[in-house]
Structures are given as C-alpha cells and as structure tokens.
Homo-oligomer: A and B are copies of this chain.
Amino acid sequence: MIIVMKPEATQDEINHVNERMLGLGFKTNVSKGEVMTVIGAVGDKHLVETESIESMAGVKQILSIREPYKMAGREMRPQDTVIKFANGVSVGGDSDFVIMAGPCSIEADPNLLFQIADTVKKGGAQFLRGGAFKPRTSPYDFQGLEEQGLKHMAEARERTGLLIITEVMDSVEAPMVAEYSDVLQVGARNMQNFKLLKAVGKLNKPVMLKRGLSATVREFLLAAEHILYQGNEQVMLCERGIRTFDSTFTRNVLDLAVVPVLKRLSHLPVIVDPSHATGHRYLIAPMANATVMSGAHGLMVEVHPDPDKALSDGAQSLMLDQYLAMMANLKKVVAFQKELTMPECLAKA
C-alpha cells in the first residue's frame, strides 16, 4: 500500500508511521518529494487495519498498489534508482550513459583478457564483461573457466580500474562470484530461476537481470521484484533480444521500444545488449546508436581480438578496431542525445 503523508507532516510523524509499518512486518520505502512524503509498504495487507493507519498523525491518504511489481514499479517509488560504485561511476537516472564491454567467455590465456580489457578501457567503457560460468545449450560446448576465470577478471580490474560484471548461474555459487565482481549478471535462461533470484537478492551487490528469451514485460519486472523483495535494491534490467519466428538474419529480435516502456513502468536502470540481440557484428553499431536515442542508461557489447577463434559467440563480437570505431561514434551520439530536450507533451500517453 502507499501511505501519502500530508504536506505539513513532520519528520517525527513520518518516522512514526514508518516504524508502525515495519513493526507490522511490512517492508517500507520512504520517498521524500518536494511537496510531500510518500511511504510505500509491501507486506500482507490482511495484517493491518487500514483505518488505524489512516488515523495516524500526518497521514493524508492510503492508496492500494495495483501494479503486481510493487517494488520494481514506479507507483510506490517514483524516483529513478541510481546505482553508485566506489570509483564514482553510477548507473540510472540522469547518470552518464555507461558501457560494458568484453569477451563472451574468459578464455584460458589471461593475456588475451588483458589485451581486450586495455582496449575496452581505451575506448571509454566503465565495465569489463566476461563469463567464467557459461550457460551452454550443449554439454559438449565450452562451459567456462569457473573460479580461475574470475581471478583473471579481478586481475584485469587491478590493471585497468574497470568495474567487473560477470554471470552467476547458481544460488550456491552466488556469494563466491560476488566476491570477485562489481555487478552480478543473471542470464536470460535463468531469469525465472527463482532460487538464484532469491540468492542474489540477499547479497549486497548490484545485479543486472537479463530478460528471458520469451519473457513478457510483466514477467521481467516480477523477476526483478523477486530480487528487490529480498532486500537488494540495486537491480538493473537488460534487454538482450527476444525469440520470435525468424532467426535467419538476426539471432533474436532487439525490442528497443521496451526501453521507454520499462522506464515508464519502473525506476530501475535499463541496459541494452545488441550483441546477443542481433548476433551479427555489422548490426552492433547502428543498434548501439539507436539504443542511445531510445533513452537507455547503458550498453553491453561483446569484443574479441580474433572472433573466429572465440570459444563462444564469435559472430556477434566486435573486433577491436570495430569496438574503438563504434565508441568514437557513440560518444558523439551520447553527447547529442544529452542536449536534445524532449518536450513534456511527447510523454503524454
């Protein structure tokens, strides 16, 4: 439920209501707006008599939440979530557009990773991506270097100062992966692995949740809700292409309109991964540029110096010169987009 406080409510009154709700077993979120304060409260509404809350000092009104994604939705928390990292980088809201780049898989030779990391850094990215645990359709494909790969990633961070984002595939391994990384990635095939969502929801580490191959927007936000519900509020959403009837020329279909849709429904940051969405490197640059114009908060791309020899996803990885060329352009697009004011009338639904 949403408890709207009166404009003249005092801080004491606000605290009092908040504590009452916490005492009733609710999770709360206090949003101070310019005019008034709103307390979002999620829990079992059968445990509380609405009237008894409504009669508390400072309370103006109680609204029930109709969105099924109570914590991920804007109804209860209108302001954008901004995720802040120790090195000053932030994601979401009005933060600068971020870039996550790197190889699909971390391979045995760490020098290959370091070479990529240097280029990723040089191009202007903030995050190094790379998979140590690889979800692979076939058991006969390369399954990842596991913890050894994470150690290479940590060393690459040491060398470059890049933040590390890497995939976690299982609830048991989550704490270990969290030790090495700055962002935990939950992959598309695990979007509804609810035990994993619960596990990363209990960690104090940002999570990037990728949209499932055929996940509806509602299911996507409810998967994020599973994480938020456990107490971890640092969640980013990542559109990475959906499965449709045609995969001849693109691996999946990039659903770019979902960016403004998600931003309207939710306060969480939205990242776009055109590498997995399209599956072909010649499509990355135009879709990266389009991503910026869609209003996304960041971009994730795959980069590899010799994609034909990559252990996974070679066809969709940018070569190093392509990555640098794309980044040079992208910076201009980001700067241009920042200057472009969108008149308010355009947001009318």
Q: Which residues of A contact B (CB under 8 A)?
A: 68-70, 135-140, 143, 169-173, 189-190, 192-196, 213-214, 216-219, 222-223, 225-226, 229, 242-250, 253-261, 264-265, 274, 277-278, 280-287, 289-295, 319, 321-322, 325-326, 328-329, 332-333, 336, 340, 342-343, 345-349
Contacts and interface: CB of A to CB of B under 8 A. Distances in A.
A12 B222 CA distance: 60
Contact of A286 (B169, B248, B259): B259
Sorted nearest first, the 4 A-B pairs with minimum C-beta distance are A214-B214, A170-B195, A189-B192, A290-B290
Nearest to A321: B345
Contact of A135 (B143, B194, B249, B265): B194
A136 B257 contact: no
17 contacts: A137-B223, A139-B225, A169-B194, A171-B172, A172-B195, A190-B192, A214-B214, A216-B246, A216-B248, A217-B248, A242-B245, A244-B245, A257-B283, A257-B287, A290-B293, A319-B345, A336-B336
B246 A257 contact: no
Contacts of A195: 169-170, 172-173
Nearest to A214: B214
Contacts of A138: 68-69, 222, 225
A344 to B, nearest CB: 9
Given A139-B225, A290-B291, 4 more contacts: A250-B257, A259-B286, A289-B293, A333-B336
Contact of A348 (B281, B347, B349): B281
Contacts of A196: 170, 193
Nearest to A194: B135
A322 to B, nearest CB: 5
A216 B252 CA distance: 12
A200 B137 CA distance: 17
Contacts of A328: 343
Nearest to A295: B286
A35 to B, nearest CB: 24
Nearest to A335: B336
Contacts of A217: 246, 248-249
A279 to B, nearest CB: 9
Contacts of A281: 348-349
B139 A226 contact: yes
A345 B322 contact: yes
A293 B349 contact: no
Contact of A340 (B171, B259, B329, B347): B329
Nearest to A134: B194
Contacts of A214: 213-214, 243, 245
Nearest to A42: B140
B261 A250 contact: yes
A143 B193 CA distance: 13
A349 B137 contact: no
B342 A285 contact: yes
A258 B216 CA distance: 21
A213 B318 CA distance: 31
Given A222-B137, A259-B286, A282-B264, A245 B245 contact: yes
